[in-house]
Structure 1
């Protein structure tokens, strides 16, 4: 790979030359690189999964960027050499993270983070037999990371299931057993 500085000849040239070199521009720099061809190896299972995940993320980005408000949100997060599409793909590629579930009296406090933002957190309370006793949305706290859900009851031997969802709809599920 070579970086080209102030070359009048290559200033307007982009593409492949003689099936040997590829000339492209990235971050206002002209780059000349050896032309890459397709791999001759059969893709692994992980590669196929990654390709599928990227295809889904790209489809999400194309669809969601039709909404001007969401496009403006992603554009505001883009850095140099990035755009709203890049940010939307990145957001769709990763699920939110539920970092902590704790109890404060009769309130469940869920700490959920995402590189962009967590759209919603829902809480389900199950008894020892797995029957849902209550469910509902948690309310985001002032810090934007902690979500609060007021419990009606804490059945002994039951469990609490927390589902965090980000803007693209990726879900992360965590559960805590009650004693």
Structure 2
């Protein structure tokens, strides 16, 4: 790969020269590189899974960017050489993370994190027989990371199931056993 500087001829040329060289522009710089061809190796299972995950992320990004407010949000996060689509794909590729679930009396406190933004946190309280006794959405705290849900009752042999979603709709589910 070579970065072309101060060459009047190359300022106007873009594309491939035969099957040898590709000339393109990235971040305002002109780059000449060896033309790459398709791989002759059979893709591994991990590569196939990553390709599928990227296809899904791309489709979700296209759908999200139809909303002007979400598109403006992603545009506000772009850096040099990036656009709203890049940010939306990056967000759709990764799921949010539930870092911690703790109880403070009757309040369930969920610490959730996403590289961009956690959209909602849903809490379900389940008794020992597996019956959902209550469910509802948690409210975001002042620190922007902790979500609070006040339960009416926490059964001693039950569990709390927390579902965290981000803007693209990726879900992460985690549970806390009550003792």
Give the TM bin, normalised by the shorter chain: over 0.9
Q: Could you say which residue in structure 1 is the equivalent of 2:62?
A: 62
Aligned pairs for 1:20-35 (under 5 A) are 20-35=20-35
Q: Could you say which residue in structure 2 is the equivalent of 1:78?
A: 78
Q: Could you say which residue in structure 2 is the equivalent of 1:131?
A: 131
Q: Could you say which residue in structure 1 is the equivalent of 2:157?
A: 157
- Deviation string for 1:25-63 (max 9, x for gaps)? 111111111111111111111111111111111111122
- Deviation string for 1:95-144 (max 9, x for gaps)? 00111111111100001010110000000011112111111100111111
The answer to whether residue 16 in structure 2 is matched with residue 16 in structure 1 is yes
TM-score normalised by structure 2 residue count: 0.97
Distance 1:89 1:119 in 2: 16
- Deviation string for 1:47-97 (max 9, x for gaps)? 111111111111111222122111110000011111101000000000001
Runs (4 or more) in structure 1 with deviation over 3 Å come to none
Q: Could you say which residue in structure 1 is the equivalent of 2:167?
A: 167
Distance 1:57 1:157 in 2: 39
TM-score normalised by structure 1 residue count: 0.97
Show structure 1 runs of 5+ residues with no match.
none
1:157 to partner: Cα distance: 1.4
CA RMSD across the alignment: 0.8
